Amino acid sequence: MNPILLTINLNKRKDIVSAMSKFSILIEKQKNVFEKTFLALVMIAYVQPFKDGNKRTSRIVSNGILYANDCATLSYRDVTVKEYKKATIIFYEQNNVHYFKEIFKSQFAFSTTNYFQ
């Protein structure tokens, strides 16, 4: 993941716009749809470009990327609020995406198993 995005002071509008621009370029450079999807999932929620609904927006955008590439979309029905919050806090505080990766992988497996049999 690009460390530039993780070190920007996101208190000012221009910094948020700059981070989103860099984030968009980073996503476009990725060749793997799952990398694009995962980046959208974590970075929109991290950058917080909107007043409200950033985590919901990140899930919608990441599902849009999956859908546009003929992949199963993720519902997050199998994740507890506690698990999701833990992944979010660890990412925000430690820049560690491990728990988000685990949730992402488990939800993709859940979707493909339950919705596409």
Short-list 70, 84, 79, CA closest to 37? 70
Number of H helices, E strands in the chain: 6, 0
Domain boundaries, the chain: 3-115
CA 83 centroid distance within chain: 15
The pLDDT tens digits for 4-25 are 445 445 667 888 888 889 989 9
Residue identified by tokens 């917080």 is: 48
User: Tell me, what's the pLDDT at 2?
Assistant: 47
User: What tens digit of pLDDT does each residue of 76-114 get?
Assistant: 888 999 999 999 999 989 989 999 999 999 999 998 888
The predicted pLDDT at position 10 comes to 64
The Cα 46–Cα 10 span in angstroms is: 9
User: Do residues 46 and 92 touch, judged by C-beta distance below 8 A?
Assistant: yes
Sole residue written with tokens 């919705």: 115
- CA dihedral angle for residue 31, residue 68, residue 34, residue 18, rounded to 10 degrees: 70
pLDDT over 90 at 59, yes or no: yes
pLDDT tens readout for residues 30-56: 999 999 999 999 999 888 888 899 889
Q: What is the pLDDT of residue 1?
A: 46
CATH classification code of 3-115 = 1.10.3290.10
- Least Cα distance to 8 among 40, 59, 43 occurs for 43
pTM of the complete model: 0.81
For 112, how many CA atoms within 13 A lie in the half-sphere containing its CB?
10
